């Protein structure tokens, strides 16, 4: 019976836990000196442009589902805190936009899967939600309020949130700290490579990037490499765990191999 319901109401969506805008508002903590604003705004893929304009494209390309905007007002002041909760289809999708926007020199915090603070702002990732908080209030109280709200909200959205597990497969040696990214589609601007995790590396003055693609199955991984070879007009019969050098006319040399369902590789340009 349960399966029947899934078929009726779209399996991919129902497997992802998600708070409604009202539930997100209910997650907000009381903060002394501040009141939670009554207004809750909600934006869908159809109208995200109305709130963040052209920046919406980057969110949409990471499978954005809904954004809820909440706010606090400071008592006896015109200061306020804006909280934008961007829910994506999956935690990796949320990581996609979070990692794309984060800056590695920020002050990182143990909030949600990861969070960071800069003056008058605090962003964090929790489950499939990327939360961006901002205020124009430069006071220490505002800074404390940001952190209190973030810690409470992160725990209530997904207390068990972690960074995507595939990131652990990128070697630590020579990796540029917090350079990891997730590209959710058209990796290296090739549609057939779909999504990939990648990180930047620095070694003996040289820079390169390592990446890992989860093709789903070993056959799919092999097929993806075949497509890449066909694109590069290279004749080769790829074997598992064999290094293949692809001369990509757009991206330069790309080293790839596949191991089971995973394609791992390096780019140099």
Partner 1 sequence: MKNLNRRHFLRLTAAGSAGLFIPSKLPAVTSRTGRPETEKINMEYRTLGRTGIKVPVLSMGVMRADNPNLVKAAMRSGIVHFDTAHGYQEGKNELMLGKIFKDMPRESFVVATKIKVSARGGTFGKEAPEEFMEKFNISMQRLGLDYVDILYFHAIDSREATLYEPVLKVMQDLKKQGRTKNIGVSTHSNEPEVINAAVDSGVYDVVLTSYNFKQKHLPELNAAIDRAADAGLGVVAMKTMAGAKDINIPAALKWVFQNKNIHTAIPGFTAFDELDVCLACATNPQLTGDEKNYLAQADTAPSLYCQQCNSCTTQCVKHLPIPDLMRAYMYNYGYRYPAKAKTLVAELNLSGNPCASCTSCEVKCTNGFAVAEKVRDIARIAAVPQEFLA
Binding site for partner 1 (CB under 8 A): 2, 5-6, 8-10, 12-14, 17-18, 20, 22, 44-46, 49-50, 52-55, 57-58, 60-61, 65-66, 80, 89, 99-106, 118-121, 136, 138, 176, 178-179, 181, 183, 185-186, 188-191, 200, 207, 209, 231, 233, 249-252, 267, 269
Least distance between partner 1 and beta carbon 244 (Å): 19
Least distance between partner 1 and beta carbon 52 (Å): 8
207 vs 219 by CB, closer to partner 1:
207
185 vs 217 by CB, closer to partner 1:
185
Contact criterion met (CB below 8 Å) for 115 and 59: no
Least distance between partner 1 and beta carbon 108 (Å): 13
For 238, counting Cβ atoms within 10 Å of its Cβ (0-12 exposed, 13-18 middle, 19+ buried), the class is: buried
Residue among 51, 125, 139, 117 at smallest CA distance from 87: 125
218 vs 229 by CB, closer to partner 1:
229
Q: Apex CA 114: angle with CA 154 and CA 153, to 5°?
A: 10
- Pinpoint the alpha helices (H) of 79-179: 91-101, 140-157
Distance CA 239, CA 100 (A): 33
Least distance between partner 1 and beta carbon 169 (Å): 18
75 vs 176 by CB, closer to partner 1:
176
Q: What share of the chain is helix, strand, coil (3-state, %, to 5)?
A: 30, 30, 35
38 vs 54 by CB, closer to partner 1:
54
Phi, psi (rounded to 5 degrees) for 241: 70, 10
Distance CA 82, CA 198 (A): 31
Phi, psi (rounded to 5 degrees) for 67: -120, 130
Least distance between partner 1 and beta carbon 10 (Å): 5
Phi, psi (rounded to 5 degrees) for 80: -150, 165
Least distance between partner 1 and beta carbon 189 (Å): 4
13 vs 75 by CB, closer to partner 1:
13
Least distance between partner 1 and beta carbon 134 (Å): 9
> Six-digit token pair at 123?
């962003």
52 vs 218 by CB, closer to partner 1:
52
For 246, counting Cβ atoms within 10 Å of its Cβ (0-12 exposed, 13-18 middle, 19+ buried), the class is: buried
Least distance between partner 1 and beta carbon 17 (Å): 5
77 vs 217 by CB, closer to partner 1:
77
Contact criterion met (CB below 8 Å) for 134 and 120: yes
């Amino acid at each position: 019976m349960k399966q029947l319901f899934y078929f009726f109401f779209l399996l991919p969506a129902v497997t992802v836990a998600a708070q409604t805008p009202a539930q997100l508002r209910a997650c907000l903590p009381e903060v002394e000196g501040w009141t939670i604003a009554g207004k809750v705004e909600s934006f869908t893929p159809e109208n995200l442009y109305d709130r963040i304009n052209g920046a919406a494209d980057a969110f949409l390309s990471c499978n954005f589902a809904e954004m809820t905007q909440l706010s606090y007002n400071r008592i006896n002041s015109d200061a306020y805190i804006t909280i934008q909760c961007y829910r994506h289809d999956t935690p990796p999708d949320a990581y996609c936009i979070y990692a794309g926007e984060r800056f590695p020199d920020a002050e990182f915090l143990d909030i949600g899967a990861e969070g960071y603070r800069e003056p008058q702002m605090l962003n964090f990732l929790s489950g499939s939600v990327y939360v961006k908080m901002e205020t124009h209030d430069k006071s220490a109280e505002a800074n404390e309020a940001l952190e209190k709200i973030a810690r409470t909200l992160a725990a209530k959205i997904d207390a068990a949130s972690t960074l995507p597990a595939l990131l652990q497969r990128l070697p630590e040696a020579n990796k540029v700290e917090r350079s990891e990214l997730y590209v959710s589609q058209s990796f290296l601007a090739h549609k057939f490579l779909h999504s990939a995790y990648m990180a930047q590396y620095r070694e003996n003055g040289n820079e390169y990037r390592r990446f890992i693609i989860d093709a789903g199955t070993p056959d799919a991984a092999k097929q993806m490499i075949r497509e890449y070879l066909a694109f590069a007009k290279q004749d080769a019969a790829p074997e598992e765990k064999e290094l293949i050098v692809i001369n990509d006319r757009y991206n330069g040399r790309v080293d790839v191999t596949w191991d089971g369902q995973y394609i791992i590789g390096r780019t140099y340009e």
